[in-house]
Amino acid sequence: MLSSIPLFIALWMAGGFFEQGTCAVQIRRPLRIAKVVGFSWENCGKADDPAVMKSLSLSPDPINIPGDLTASAAGTTSVALVSPVSLNVTLEKEVAGFWVKVPCLEELGSCHYPDACDILDQLIPPGQDCPEPLHTYGLPCHCPFKAGDYSLPQSVFSLPKVELPFWLTNGQYRVQGVLGNLDKELGCLKVTLTLHSD
């Protein structure tokens, strides 16, 4: 995961999104993701949103799973990000030329998370060193995040096998994450990608 919350949601939606699939509804045998194709991103917030993604690069394309992912990113926030930082995720799948909203099932899909800071604490227990490469570059991984610029130089991540619930089938998806605090929008990021599974 990346460091500041704007960077965090980018990889959370692109990578952590898949990891959470293992705890979703398992009515039938889950699908194993084989590759992610055509990853793209854009800021989707208001002009005065304080948290903005400045750059995000993932390679190769396609991204093979399992396999190595090379990522670099940069973001900025003009205000400190302190708990609670809400995260509203909207997941849509393209079906016959239309975007269909995927409902929230077992915390996967179009879900509201009251505090992204709590998610970070669950992923990385407080008191532990931040995982690599964050530790090497002195990047924080817990709230609060001070106002300022955050960047992750090009780094390699090893992606494990990932299983998703059967209802997340092959196809094109777009994921939008909106950060907020006390009913004020802090930032918005939209990711588009195509899943291929075995």
CATH number at residue 118: 2.70.220.10
Tens-level pLDDT at each residue, the chain (198 residues): 333 344 444 444 444 343 333 333 334 455 666 788 999 999 999 999 999 999 999 999 998 888 898 989 999 999 999 999 999 999 999 999 999 999 998 888 899 999 999 988 988 898 899 888 888 888 888 899 999 999 989 998 888 887 777 777 789 999 999 999 988 999 999 999 998 877
Give how many domains the chain has, as a whole number.
1
pTM for the full predicted model = 0.82
Domain boundaries, position 52 = 5-197
Asked if residues 53 and 73 have their Cβ atoms less than 8 Å apart, the reply is: yes
H-type alpha helices, the chain:
5-11, 17-19, 116-123, 134-137
